[in-house]
Chain A
């Protein structure tokens, strides 16, 4: 069965610190990769996505992620976090199966940014 692993349950950073959240998946075929963010009291929103091409993808609000196929990883990064980045971050993998795509989420990483 396909699984998505996020290594950190809760990350606490000071403003201006750099961020890297890990994500690994277990499926070996063609996948589409996503990072979603959920700000307190809001719905899940797409942060960035990778379908093909340049493995370094840039998303909204200064976030980027790098797809490393050999490591089955899709880590999220931001060089300098802000208090407004406090949220929960979910890595998700979509793969084709039986003619349709299925989207599987990791357990999420809660990010707390201290002013």
Chain B
């Protein structure tokens, strides 16, 4: 079974620039999560999708972050404009169905450095 795919693996941008991350979940998984993991902290949920609908985006800084999941499969997370404090690893995860919780499978993450 293929895992969760993310790209790019690494990205360095200057502050105020924009950046986008891509995630392809495990086939058949209805639930997709984006987490932000700042160095020394645990992953923090940014947004959760069930198919192509948003379930929870309460911790997403909506003035600069946006995410979409077209057709309920792949997802993109965008930051525009980036700030220094956005430097972190962005993790994508998927699970079968968040109404009957099983477990979440994580991708390798995208390490973003904002300079």
Q: Hey, which bits of chain A sit against chain B, CB under 8 A? A: 4, 6, 32, 34, 36, 42-46, 49, 51, 90, 92, 94, 96, 98-108
Contacts and interface: CB of A to CB of B under 8 A. Distances in A.
A43 B106 contact: yes
A76 to B, nearest CB: 14
Interface of B: 3-4, 31, 33, 35, 40-45, 48, 50, 55-56, 91, 93, 98-99, 101, 103-109
Contacts of A108: 40-42
A105 B46 CA distance: 12
Nearest to A6: B42
A84 to B, nearest CB: 20
A103 B42 contact: no
B55 A103 contact: no
Given A4-B42, A107-B42, A102 B107 contact: no
A107 B3 CA distance: 24
A98 B56 CA distance: 10
Given A44-B91, A90-B43, A94-B101, A102 B56 contact: yes
B103 A46 contact: yes
Nearest to B56: A102
